[in-house]
Homo-oligomer: A and B are copies of this chain.
Amino acid sequence: MYAAIDECAMRFAQIPEQRQSLIEFLAQGITPERMQRLQTVLSQRTRHIAVMLENIFQAQNASAVLRSCECFGIQDVYTVETQNAFVVDREVDMSASKWLTLHHFNTHQQATTQAITTIRNKGYKIIATSPYAEHTLDSIDLSQPIALMFGTELTGLTEIAMAQADDLVRIPMYGFIESFNISVSAAICLHTLTTRLRASQHNYGLSPDERDDLMLRWLLHSTKHWHLLVKRFCNTQ
C-alpha cells in the first residue's frame, strides 16, 4: 500500500544531501508543532528491539501488535506469511503501519528461515517466548539488539522457528490458563523490555542516516499530494 512512498524514500537514500533538502522543502508544508512532534517521536524510536510475527491469523491480533510496537517506539516488524496473509484491522491498527517499517516474507516456502537469517544478519539475537525458558523479561540480556518472535494464536511458533531461536524468554504465570493472548504477550514483552532499555546505558536510538530516512518517509505519509510536491522539488533541482 505504501510501496510508492518506499520507492521514493529509497531513491533519495542514495543522495543524502538532496534528501536533506527535500525534508526541508516538505517541512514547509506542516506546522512547527507537527514538526516538533515528528522529531520527538523520531528521537524515541529504536531498532535495538524488533518483532517477528509468524503467520498471525487474526487481523485484530496483528493490528494490536503493530499498535503496541508503534506506542513503544519499536520501528521494525518482520512478518512471515506462508500460511496466513498479514492482514490488519484498520480500526485497531489506527494507522500504526504507516509509521512502522514492515518487512514481509511470503514468497518462499522457507520464509521463516529466510526471515530469521535476514534478522540475524543485521546483528540481532533471536528470542522466542516459551514457558520453559530460563530467563524472564527482567533478566534477559539487552546488550545486543534482540528480535522477539511470536507465533500463531493456536499453535504458537513453528518448530523451525523455535529451533533457530538463540534464546528463550518467559512471562511468569500464576493461574490455570497456560498462555496469553498473542497481542497481550507481545505487549507485555515490549513494555517491560523497552522500559528496561530506556532506563539503561545502551545506545538504542537510530543513526543519523536512519533518522533522515524515516523523517522523509513520515513527511511523505503526512502529505496527501506528496508525489506532486516531490515532482515540484525535483523540478527546482
A interface residues (Cβ-Cβ under 8 A, vs B) = 37, 41, 44-45, 60, 64, 67-68, 70-73, 92, 94-96, 99, 138, 171-177, 179-181, 183-184, 187-188, 191-192, 194-195
Nearest chain-B residue to A46 (Cβ)?
B174
> Would you call B177 and A71 a contact (CB within 8 A)?
yes
Could you list 15 further interchain pairs (A-B, Cβ under 8 angstroms) beyond the known A64-B183, A71-B175, A188-B191? A37-B176, A44-B175, A64-B184, A67-B184, A70-B175, A71-B174, A99-B176, A99-B177, A138-B195, A171-B191, A181-B187, A183-B184, A184-B184, A187-B187, A192-B192
Which B residues are in CB contact (< 8 Å) with A194? 174
Tell me the complex Cα distance, A40–B107, Å: 47
List chain B residues, Cβ under 8 A from A71: 173-175, 177, 179-180
Q: 13 A-B contacts, Cβ less than 8 Å apart?
A: A44-B174, A64-B184, A67-B181, A71-B175, A71-B180, A72-B173, A72-B175, A73-B174, A95-B177, A99-B177, A181-B187, A187-B187, A187-B188
Other-chain residue from B68, B173, B174 in contact with A184 (beta carbon distance below 8 A): B68
Interfacial chain B residues near A191, Cβ < 8 Å:
171, 188, 191-192
Contacts A171-B191, A191-B171, A192-B191; is A67 near B177 (CB within 8 Å)? Answer: yes
CB distance from A61 to the nearest CB of B (A): 9
* Known contacts A60-B60, A191-B191; A41 and B175 CB within 8 A of each other: yes
Give the Cβ gap from A117 to chain B, nearest Cβ, in Å.
28
Let me know if A177 and B72 touch, CB within 8 A: no
